[in-house]
Amino acid sequence: MTVKEKIYEIVAKRMKVDVSAINDDTQLKKDLNADSIDIVEIIFELEELYTIDIDDSYAEQINTIGDAITVVEKIINDSQ
């Protein structure tokens, strides 16, 4: 499963929406009504899954699902 597919799955499960209802441009707060706790828990799950650390400067950049994919892929690539 790709990073993108896994993030879609995590967000869909957390926000109780079907994976087909989201895309890279889906905004976590505006489109999915995610609050700050939802976003923190999504980030925490990604950190655990990929054994990475998403610091606050990166976390603040995550507004859309595409942003989350970009951040996670960058951290993974930078750590290799």
Type and span of the H or E element at 8: helix 3-15
The question of whether 35 is a catalytic residue gets the answer yes
Of 43, 45, 66, 38, residue with least CA distance to 55: 43
Whose tokens are 């899954």? That residue is: 49
- From the list 18, 24, 31, 35, the catalytic residue is 35
Active site residues: 35
